[in-house]
Amino acid sequence: MTRAVVTSKYDKLITDVGIIFEGARKAMVTAYWHIGKRIVEIEQDGEVRAKYGANLINSLSKDLTQKYGSGFSRESLIKMRSFYNKFPKGSAPTLLNWTKYRELLSVKDDHKRITLEKKAARENISSRDLRRIVKESAGKPAAKILPVAEPELLDRPTNLILNTYKLSDDPQNKVPAGYISLDCGFYVDLCVPAKMKPHLTEKPSFAYCAKVKRVVDGDTLLVEIDLGFNARTRTRLRLRGINTPELSTPEGASAKRFVTRSLPKGKSIIVKSYSTDIFGRFVADVLYMKEDSTPSKIIENGIFLNNQLLEKGIAVNL
């Protein structure tokens, strides 16, 4: 097994662990919100309230700890109840981890709490810094907590050469005589006649023409990439270096509408991919023109979607 194959498998392991960890984090936050919801529902039940009264939380803590172990102290259950009461939307919020949500529970003003939640998610603020910001924000209106900052625009991809490849070193590929195996990126290897003379390089650009299939949200696209040699692959792209609000928020829905208007189904775009994120999506730059044009013109004069979203305030720097 070659070093490149081992490295590829290790990178895939990193991606898989990230997906599992992120899923577990969201599941924990969701579980605590639903536990809080059930506590509130039972507290509003007249018969249960008559039997347990103010001792409901104490009794619940004792029984749950006995059955499931640590994690169900009286203080923890009170925080879960507060979590549901202060974030009572139709589904549990999952922008932050549980430690950060606990810091926000002391914020009484609903608008300020949501503002701080978005700020913490957007700027990846640590729990310690969030605790400090919560204390410093006491008495301040929400507008002063979230100052408008100029976005840092990304470097536009330049000197793009489409359809460049490197030789695949996957030992599982069976290559007939007179053929070569190309690594196209996007987990795709192609076996093509050597006489076709593809553009080979040790550092391919992983830049291709593509068609938009669907806008998933403000920073994620489903596209069909033309790899050359009559080969295509369908994959999800995560726009490099930016972040748009969660789709469940009004801002997130607005971001998706803007991108959908700009990139309707079938729209021709240029894609340059860099790597994958923790969810296995390919991180990419996207170039397009309002009116479909040739690939060379899109590369030279096209709109750089990542920066467009930053400039319009639809996205923030990641």
Per-residue pLDDT tens over the stretch 234-266: 999 999 999 888 887 788 889 999 999 999 999
* CA angle (231 as vertex; 191, 270 as ends), nearest 5: 125
Residues of CATH 2.40.50.90 domain(s) within the chain?
A: 164-317
| C-alpha to C-alpha distance for 83 and 263, rounded to whole angstroms | 38
User: Within the chain, which residues score under 50 in pLDDT?
Assistant: 148
Token pair belonging to 190: 């192609």
- Tokens representing residue 71 in the block: 């994690």
pLDDT at 239: 96
Instruction: Give me 44's structure tokens.
Output: 């509003």
At 63, list the tokens.
Answer: 């029984």
Q: Are 190 and 182 in contact (CB under 8 A)?
A: yes
pLDDT at 98: 93
The CATH code for residues 164-317 is 2.40.50.90
